[in-house]
Amino acid sequence: MIFSTDSTLCLPFFKASMNSSQILWSCVKDSSCFIRKQRGVNKAFTREPFNLWGTHNYFNCGFIRKQALDIRAAPAGKGILMTLRKKSSKTMKAIASVLKNNHYPRRMKRVNEQLKYAVVQRSAQKRASQILRSQMVKVSTKRRRQRREKQKK
């Protein structure tokens, strides 16, 4: 039976390279454990790996694609962790993780080299730059004191 409500039959990484993406999406779209819904918002969100935008739809679903890229913050908090999934019959060799913590423009170039789709490249760049911006240390400027404050002391 192709369409089943049994969650054990709808595992996302179960022979993903052999099934078509439409069958996988029909299996995952209503019964994924990664779906998050919010009150007052009509769209569903997701926490699945390989989903760069975090929205639950066919275009952004990462584990039904033959080639997918996941960008997360590095465990140490410096740099980004890029995980690339490619079509392979062997599950362990299909996923490769690379830690990027060198110069900022080089990291953006490496993100571009990983994917061939322009739309996904742009969203991967946005995600990487958001993570890298959040990791930068912000230098606070010293507040200038007014003349009145100096005279009071």
Asked if 52 contacts 59 with a C-beta cutoff of 8 angstroms, the reply is no
State the CATH class of domain 66-135: alpha beta
Domain boundaries, the chain: 1-64, 66-135
pLDDT of residue 59: 83
pLDDT of residue 139: 77
Tell me, yes or no, if the pTM score tops 0.85. Answer: no
- Mean predicted lDDT score pLDDT of the chain: 75
pLDDT tens per residue across span 62-93: 778 777 888 888 888 788 888 877 777 777 77
Q: Which two tokens stand for residue 41?
A: 């918002």
pLDDT greater than 50 at residue 15:
no
* Percent with pLDDT over 70 in the chain: 70
Pick 1-64's CATH classification: 3.30.390.110, 3.40.50.1820, 3.40.920.10, 1.10.3720.10: 3.30.390.110
Asked if 99 contacts 79 with a C-beta cutoff of 8 angstroms, the reply is yes
* Dist. CA 82–CA 127, nearest whole Å: 11
Q: Are domains 1-64 and 66-135 of this chain identical in fold?
A: yes
Asked if 91 contacts 13 with a C-beta cutoff of 8 angstroms, the reply is yes
